[in-house]
C-alpha cells in the first residue's frame, strides 16, 4: 500500500524563509519522514534518520544526476566531485584526500594557530569591529588561499564567487542567475590565474595538476577540482566562524562555562556546527524505485537532504534549538555523511578550533550587536556582525 506523501507549500527559497528556516523545517519534520515540495517538484527529507539513510545509500540515491535544484547548474557542475558517482567519485576523491587528511594537516595546524592568535589579538585592540568582514572573512581566505597556493591578488573576489557558486545550487531565481555568472568568473580565474605555472609548488592546488600529469585523472577534471576547493573551502568556513562568534557573544553563560572548562572546546565546536549548518541542503536523485521509511520514491525523483533540519531534529537532539556547549553532538550532519562527506572537514575543524582556543586564551568577554543575515539559496551565514572583544589582562603579550 502506498503512503500519501504530505505536501509543504512553503517556499523554502523565499527570502523571509531563508532568513529563519527553522520553523519551516520543524513543520516539515512534523508532517512526515518524506515531504513533497510541489512548487519545485522535489521531495525532501528533514528528519535525522532519513537524511542519514539517504546520504549513506549512494547506490539508490545518487549524486551523479546533480545535487543542485536546477538543470543548468547540474549540467555546468556535471564533472565535479560532488556530482560524481563511483568509480569517478573515488578517482577524484583520491586526489584530494591525501592533502586534506589529519596527517597532512598536522604541520599546517601550527601556522593556522599562529594566524588565529594574531588576528584575535589585532581585533581585540579595537573598540569594536565587524566580526564577519574584518574577522571571519579574513581567516579562511588567507588559510585556504595559501594552502591551495593561490597568488595574493584577486583573493577578495574569491568569497563573492564562492557565495555565488552556492546560490547557483538553488531553483531558478535571481540569486541563482547571478550565481551562474559567478561560476563563470571563477572558472575564468582558474583558467588564467590558478594555473600550473602560477600556483605555489607543493601546494594542494599544484597537487591537482600533478595528479593529471601523472595520469591519475584526466586533465579536464583539474578545473573542477580547483573549483571545488575554491567553492567549498572558503564561504562555508567563514559562515561557521561567524556563527561561532555570534553564538558565543549572545550566550554569555556558555562563554563563561567554556572559559572555566576549556576542554569543552571540541564539544562547543560540534554544537556550533549542529546549530548553524553553513550548507543547509543539497540533493540526490533516486536511481531506481526505492522505499524510504515506508514511502515509495520513484526512479528519477529528486530528494532534498536538509542537513540543517536533521541537526535540529527533536528525535535526535532533545531541546534542539538550545545552544548547549556540553552537548557534544558529534554525529551532526553539517559535513554530510557517507561517501560524499566533506573532504575538508578536518581543515574546517582545525580552523574553528584554532580561533576558539585563541578567543579563550586571550579574551575576557565577547559582545555582539545586531547581525545582518546573508541571503543565499543553500548557505546560511551573516554578512555583518558588530562585535567587541575585551582582552584578558596580560593576554597576548
Contacting positions for ligand HEM (CB under 6 A): 55, 63, 67, 81-82, 93, 96, 144, 228-229, 232-233, 236-237, 240, 278-279, 282, 307, 334-336, 340, 342-344, 347-348
Closer Cβ to ligand HEM, 124 or 238, answer by number:
238
- Supply the DSSP symbol for 14: S
In this structure, which long-range contacts are made by residues 292-295, counting pairs with CB atoms below 8 Å and at least 24 apart in sequence?
Answer: 292/33, 292/34, 292/45, 292/50, 292/53, 292/54, 293/33, 293/34, 293/49, 293/50, 293/53, 294/3, 294/33, 295/3, 295/5, 295/32, 295/33, 295/34
Q: How far is the CB of 226 from ligand HEM (least distance, A)?
A: 11
Q: How far is the CB of 227 from ligand HEM (least distance, A)?
A: 10
DSSP string, 297-355: E-TT-EEEE-HHHHTT-TTTSSSTTS--TT---TT--TT--GGGS-TTHHHHHHHHHHH
Closer Cβ to ligand HEM, 128 or 267, answer by number:
267
Q: How far is the CB of 9 from ligand HEM (least distance, A)?
A: 26
Closer Cβ to ligand HEM, 121 or 317, answer by number:
317
Of the candidates 24, 37, 40, the one whose C-alpha atom is nearest the C-alpha of residue 173 is 40
Closer Cβ to ligand HEM, 18 or 121, answer by number:
18
The residue of the chain with the least Cβ separation from ligand HEM equals 344
Give the dihedral of Cα atoms 85, 89, 91, 93; nearest 10 deg: -170
Take residue 146 and report the three cell numbers written for it: 595559501
DSSP string, 198-241: TSPTTSHHHHHHHHHHTTSS-TTHHHHHHHHHHHHSSHHHHHHH
Whole-number Å distance between alpha carbons of 92 and 98: 11
Q: How far is the CB of 94 from ligand HEM (least distance, A)?
A: 11
Closer Cβ to ligand HEM, 48 or 307, answer by number:
307
Q: How far is the CB of 63 from ligand HEM (least distance, A)?
A: 6
Q: Cell 535571481, residue?
A: 174
Q: How far is the CB of 234 from ligand HEM (least distance, A)?
A: 7
Closer Cβ to ligand HEM, 147 or 368, answer by number:
147
Q: How far is the CB of 314 from ligand HEM (least distance, A)?
A: 21
Whole-number Å distance between alpha carbons of 76 and 69: 12
Closer Cβ to ligand HEM, 124 or 189, answer by number:
189
Closer Cβ to ligand HEM, 327 or 340, answer by number:
340
Q: How far is the CB of 125 from ligand HEM (least distance, A)?
A: 27
Pairing of strands 372-375, 380-384: antiparallel
Q: How far is the CB of 349 from ligand HEM (least distance, A)?
A: 8
Closer Cβ to ligand HEM, 162 or 387, answer by number:
162
Take residue 88 and report the three cell numbers written for it: 569517478
Take residue 19 and report the three cell numbers written for it: 532568513
Q: List, edge to edge, every strand of the sheet that includes 363-368.
A: 129-130, 386-391, 363-368
Take residue 261 and report the three cell numbers written for it: 572548562
Amino acid at each position: 500500500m502506498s503512503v500519501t506523501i504530505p505536501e509543504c507549500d512553503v517556499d523554502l527559497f523565499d527570502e523571509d524563509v531563508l532568513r529563519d528556516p527553522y520553523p519551516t523545517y520543524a513543520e516539515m519534520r512534523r508532517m512526515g519522514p518524506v515531504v513533497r515540495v510541489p512548487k519545485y517538484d522535489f521531495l525532501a527529507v528533514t528528519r535525522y534518520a532519513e537524511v542519514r539513510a539517504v546520504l549513506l545509500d549512494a547506490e539508490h540515491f545518487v549524486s551523479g544526476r546533480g545535487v543542485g535544484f536546477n538543470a543548468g547548474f547540474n549540467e555546468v557542475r556535471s564533472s565535479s566531485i560532488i556530482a560524481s558517482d563511483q568509480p569517478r567519485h573515488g578517482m577524484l576523491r583520491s586526489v584530494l584526500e591525501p592533502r586534506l587528511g589529519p596527517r597532512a594537516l598536522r604541520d599546517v595546524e601550527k601556522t593556522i594557530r599562529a594566524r588565529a592568535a594574531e588576528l584575535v589579538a589585532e581585533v581585540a585592540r579595537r573598540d569594536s569591529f565587524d566580526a564577519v568582514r574584518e574577522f571571519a572573512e579574513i581567516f579562511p581566505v588567507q588559510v585556504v588561499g595559501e594552502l591551495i597556493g593561490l597568488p595574493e591578488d584577486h583573493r577578495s573576489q574569491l568569497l563573492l564567487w564562492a557565495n555565488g557558486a552556492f546560490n547557483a545550487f538553488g531553483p531558478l531565481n535571481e540569486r541563482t542567475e547571478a550565481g551562474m555568472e559567478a561560476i563563470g568568473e571563477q572558472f575564468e580565474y582558474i583558467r588564467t590565474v590558478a594555473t600550473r605555472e602560477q600556483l605555489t609548488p607543493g601546494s594542494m592546488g599544484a597537487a591537482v595538476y600533478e595528479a593529471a600529469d601523472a595520469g591519475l585523472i584526466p586533465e579536464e577534471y583539474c578545473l573542477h577540482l580547483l573549483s571545488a576547493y575554491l567553492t567549498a573551502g572558503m564561504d562555508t568556513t567563514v559562515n561557521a566562524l561567524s556563527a561561532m562568534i555570534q553564538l558565543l557573544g549572545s550566550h554569555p553563560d556558555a562563554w563563561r562555562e567554556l572559559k572555566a572548562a576549556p576542554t569543552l572546546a571540541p564539544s562547543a565546536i560540534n554544537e556550533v556546527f549542529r546549530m548553524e549548518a553553513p550548507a543547509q541542503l543539497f540533493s540526490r536523485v533516486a536511481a531506481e524505485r526505492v522505499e524510504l521509511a515506508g514511502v515509495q520514491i520513484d526512479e528519477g525523483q529528486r530528494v532534498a537532504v536538509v542537513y540543517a533540519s536533521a541537526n535540529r531534529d527533536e528525535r535526535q537532539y532533545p531541546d534542539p534549538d538550545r545552544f548547549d556547549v556540553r552537548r557534544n553532538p558529534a554525529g551532526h550532519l553539517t559535513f554530510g555523511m557517507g561517501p560524499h562527506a566533506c573532504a575538508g572537514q578536518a581543515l574546517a575543524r582545525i580552523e574553528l578550533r584554532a580561533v576558539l582556543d585563541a578567543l579563550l586564551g586571550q579574551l575576557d568577554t565577547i559582545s555582539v550587536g545586531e547581525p545582518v543575515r546573508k541571503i543565499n539559496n543553500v548557505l546560511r551565514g551573516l554578512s555583518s556582525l558588530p562585535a567587541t572583544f575585551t582582552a584578558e589582562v596580560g593576554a597576548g603579550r
